[in-house]
Amino acid sequence: MIKKKKNKIEFIIVLLILFVFVFIFEIPRKFFNISRLTYDERLNISYDFCSDRSVGFINYVKNKHDIKNSVNFIKYTGVRNPNWIFFDRSSKQEDEYHILLNYNNDNEIFLERINKNTFRYKFDPKYNHRIFKKIVIENLENLDNYEISIHNNLIIPKDTVISKLNSKTIKSNAEIYLNESNNKMMQSQQKQEKNITIKIKNNQNKINDDLKIKFKLEHIYKIKDYEIIEKINNCYLVAKK
């Protein structure tokens, strides 16, 4: 009687383990997928095709164009080291090809207002490889003098004044062109994945509630300068013209 009961328990345990392997770990489904899909197809499914990591696209162009060695990447995504797809490191990097990931033409960044006189651009990799051309301030009141500064937090945190506007010169929308050093500082913040904070002050310390700030950007790598070999969504395989 006891032996029968023990056998029953053992049988139930075996059934439970089988249940876990079949329904939790989904072994049969994975078995089926491995037999149905190739290694590359499974690799593409495990990642995305052309968004964050873009493994699908890289794998696709690697196979289609028989690219053996690693290539130059121009990334507009947060992915690090997309080169891992290229296993052959016996020879040097291919200089002929460039892969642009998530290339986009969004050349305006609207800054988020975080308090009365502080505006923030929260780092986004899609704005990589850009020149920070100018800052546009909308809905200024023409009655006052303004001081615009960038909070530089790269080495020693400090505010760098980039422009002073006075009531005689400004219109309701002001455009501040960034000089070489300010542009470099902002590019450097972008490269180090840091937020950029703009502070705006006036002598009465009253800032219009409707005030908006945006950055105008320009591409460093212009797609028209390259020969497009492959384009799928925002991912490109290009060669220098």
Partner 1 sequence: MIEIFNIFIFVLLVSLLILPNKSILVSLNKGNTRYSTFEISSLNLLLILNIIWFSSVIDIRKIYTFLVILSFLTINLTIFLHDLNKKNLFKNESVSYLLIFIITFLISIIIAHVLFFSHDVRLFWFEKTIMFYNDLFVTSDDTIKPEYPHFGTYLWAFLWKFSFLDYEYFGRIFYTFIYTFSIYFLINKIKFKKNFIKYFIFILIILLNFKMKWFDGRQDILIFSFNLFVFAFLHELIFNKSKQTIHAIGFLLTINLLLWTKNEAMLYIFSYFIAILYYIKGSRRFVILSIIICLLSIKFIFYEFHNIEAHLNRDTFPSPSNFFTYILSLDLQERVPQVFFWYIVGIIRNPILLLSIIFLFFIFLENKKYFMKHLYLFYIYLIISIGIFFVYTISTYDFPFHMIGSFGRVFLQFSMIFLIPVLKFFEYKKMI
Under the binding rule (CB under 8 A), the answer on residue 154 touching partner 1 is no
Residue placing its CB nearer to partner 1 in the complex, 30 or 122: 30
Q: Binding partner 1 by CB under 8 A: which of 12, 15, 19, 21?
A: 21
Region from 36-44, 168-176, 189-197, 208-216 binding partner 1, contact rule CB under 8 A: 36-44
HEC readout, the chain? CHHHHHHHHHHHHHHHHHHHHHHHCCHHHHHHHHHHCCHHHHHHHHCCCCCCCCHHHHHHHHHHCCCCCCEEEEECCCCCCHHHHCCCCCCCCEEEEEEEECCCCCCEEECEEEECCEEEECCCHHHCCEEEEEEEEECCCCCCCEEEEEEECCCCCEEEEEEEECCCCCCCCEEEECCHHHHHHHHHHHHCCCCEEEEEEECCCCCCCCCEEEEEEEECCCHHHEEEEEEECCEEEEEEC
Region from 13-21, 107-115, 168-176, 231-239 binding partner 1, contact rule CB under 8 A: 13-21
Q: Binding partner 1 by CB under 8 A: which of 34, 114, 220, 239?
A: 34
Q: Enumerate residues 57-96 that contact partner 1 by CB under 8 A.
A: 80-81, 84, 87-90
x/- binding map, residues 157-176, to partner 1, per CB under 8 A? Answer: --------------------
What is the contact surface with partner 1 in residues (CB under 8 A)? Answer: 10, 13, 17, 20-21, 25, 27, 30-31, 33-35, 39, 42-43, 46-47, 80-81, 84, 87-90
